[in-house]
């Protein structure tokens, strides 16, 4: 009888091992093919952290799934019908979005609140701060991104942000937002040419908030002054920019040419041309490029027409459009889809693609426990297959806990 039980538990363990995971004595093990070098590895996990990494020398004894750190999306406006800037946001709605993102391999994200009226932004940041304390989803929300309201009011540069709420940087107002957010705002996108922007950037940097330049028409001098003051990122480079710009003097060249700037890009196959993505990548490289989804709340829903506020939006299988104006309204792909696109466009490998969608955002935002597979790092992991460069997520772990499994 004892023999039988032992045999059954050994069978159960080996079954799980074939699926890439095993559990024993409260500790767990995840194994797969390491994304960065193609070698089979087994990770021991305890207390939500990676406690050891061992290389497997018996080829064929483990999983055929790739193993990588969980994806980190630092710009996402909503998902699966949940709008982080919307009037109906609640902790339960954030939970719905978070769980849907786990399915897409996203283990950490910065819910992004865009230009809205002050009361709405405060209310929603307070809800996000509550979500951050939630035992189930809090570990997936290391902070928040405020995109606006201190951006260019000029048509084209302001993108889909509502002009009536756009204003010059106001530190006291930002402090109110930060208080509502329980100091959770880790990233802000702003325009460097606005009055008071440079002093505002210095204040952000002094309080540990990362500054990114976006939705702006800053001159080379404005951009240099902003970077000198501590700005280190450019938000969705090539987007949030007017269609017609001066070929010499525009915000793109100075942001590309300054090595201190890491751009984020929306490589969803629609927001940038292949040539733009290739050029940006050639200049900045895998070490200084960040992938973001910039997904709207419609992402993850079935295609069709949706009403948002006073506007009608058309969701295709890949992107959101404003049908009246026939322009892009936003992205509809999770960051895992951008991995396949950048691999196709630049011929980079999965190693570089994961670096841009996990390691780089973690480093830029000083999320020290995230973005890498290493001893002592939080066990945020994805097991996946690549099918024609398309990332197919099989399992997602947050702090060592299995939060999504394709087979369930
Ligand atoms: Zn934007």
**What single-letter DSSP state applies at residue 356?**
I
Task: Calculate how far, in angstroms, residue 30's C-alpha sits from the geometric centre of ligand 1.
Answer: 37
Class of domain 2-68+373-405: mainly beta
Residue 248 marked in a binding site: no
Distance CA(205)–CA(292), nearest Å, equals 22
Residue of 294, 297, 344, 408 marked catalytic:
294
Q: How many CB atoms lie within 10 A of CB 283?
A: 14
Same fold? 2-68+373-405, 70-364: no
- The confidence score (pLDDT) of residue 184 equals 98
Task: Calculate how far, in angstroms, residue 236's C-alpha sits from the geometric centre of ligand 1.
Answer: 7
Residue 236 marked in a binding site: yes
- The confidence score (pLDDT) of residue 308 equals 79
Q: Verify cis geometry, omega within 30 degrees of 0, for the bond prior to 149.
A: yes
Task: Calculate how far, in angstroms, residue 88's C-alpha sits from the geometric centre of ligand 1.
Answer: 21
pTM above 0.85, yes or no: yes
Task: Calculate how far, in angstroms, residue 394's C-alpha sits from the geometric centre of ligand 1.
Answer: 31
Residue 203 marked in a binding site: no
Q: Is 369 a catalytic residue?
A: no
Residue 296 marked in a binding site: no
Task: Give Dmax over CA atoms of the chain in angstroms.
Answer: 81
- The confidence score (pLDDT) of residue 56 equals 76
Q: Which long-range contacts (CB under 8 A, 24 or more apart) does 205-214 make?
A: 205/229, 205/230, 207/178, 208/366, 209/178, 209/185, 210/186, 210/364, 210/365, 210/366, 211/187, 212/187, 212/188, 212/264, 213/189, 213/251, 213/255, 213/261, 214/147, 214/151, 214/189, 214/190, 214/240
pLDDT tens sequence for the chain (408 residues): 333 444 444 444 444 444 566 665 558 899 999 999 999 999 999 999 999 999 876 555 567 899 999 999 999 999 999 999 999 999 999 999 999 999 999 999 999 999 999 999 999 999 999 999 999 999 999 999 999 999 999 999 998 899 999 999 999 999 999 999 999 999 999 999 999 999 999 999 999 999 999 999 999 999 999 999 999 999 999 999 998 999 999 999 999 999 999 999 999 999 999 999 999 999 999 999 999 999 999 998 999 999 877 778 999 888 898 887 767 788 999 999 999 999 999 999 999 999 999 999 999 999 999 999 999 999 999 999 999 889 999 999 999 999 999 987
The CA angle 334-180-148, to the nearest 5 degrees, is 50
The CATH classification of domain 70-364, taken from the options 3.30.2290.10, 3.10.129.10, 3.40.50.1860, 3.20.20.140: 3.20.20.140
């Amino acid at each position: 009888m004892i023999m039988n039980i032992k045999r059954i538990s050994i069978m159960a363990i080996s079954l799980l091992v074939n699926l890439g995971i095993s559990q024993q004595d409260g500790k767990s093990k995840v194994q797969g093919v390491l994304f960065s070098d193609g070698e089979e590895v087994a990770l021991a996990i305890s207390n939500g952290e990676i406690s050891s990494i061992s290389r497997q020398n018996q080829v064929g004894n483990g999983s055929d799934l790739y193993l990588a750190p969980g994806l980190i999306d630092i710009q996402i406006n909503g998902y699966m019908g949940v709008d982080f800037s919307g009037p109906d946001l609640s902790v339960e709605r954030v939970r719905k979005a978070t769980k849907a993102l786990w399915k897409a391999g996203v283990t950490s994200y910065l819910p992004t609140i865009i230009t809205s009226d002050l009361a709405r932004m405060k209310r929603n940041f307070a809800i996000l701060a509550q979500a951050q304390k939630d035992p189930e989803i809090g570990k997936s929300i290391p902070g928040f991104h405020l995109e606006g309201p201190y951006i260019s009011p000029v048509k084209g540069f302001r993108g889909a942000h509502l002009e009536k709420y756009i204003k010059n940087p106001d530190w006291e107002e930002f402090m109110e937002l930060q208080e509502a957010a329980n100091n959770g705002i880790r990233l802000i996108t702003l325009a460097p040419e606005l009055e008071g922007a440079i002093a505002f950037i210095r204040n952000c940097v002094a309080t540990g908030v990362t500054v990114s330049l976006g939705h702006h028409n800053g001159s080379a001098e404005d951009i240099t002054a902003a970077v000198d003051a501590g700005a280190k990122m450019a938000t969705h480079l090539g987007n949030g920019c007017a269609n017609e710009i001066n070929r010499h003097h525009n915000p793109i060249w100075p942001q590309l040419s300054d090595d201190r700037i890491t751009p984020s890009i929306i490589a969803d196959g629609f927001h940038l041309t292949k040539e733009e993505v290739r050029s940006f990548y050639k200049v900045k490289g895998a070490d200084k490029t960040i992938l973001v989804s910039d997904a709207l709340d419609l992402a993850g829903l079935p295609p069709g027409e949706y009403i948002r506020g006073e506007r009608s939006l058309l969701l295709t299988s890949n992107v959101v459009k404003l049908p009246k104006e026939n322009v892009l309204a936003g992205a509809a792909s999770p960051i895992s889809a951008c991995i396949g696109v950048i691999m196709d466009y630049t011929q980079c490998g999965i190693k570089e693609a994961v670096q841009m969608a996990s390691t780089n955002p973690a480093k830029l935002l000083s999320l020290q426990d995230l973005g890498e597979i290493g001893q002592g790092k939080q066990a945020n992991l994805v097991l996946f297959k690549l099918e024609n460069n398309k990332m197919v997520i099989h399992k997602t772990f947050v702090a060592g806990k299995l939060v999504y499994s394709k087979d369930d």
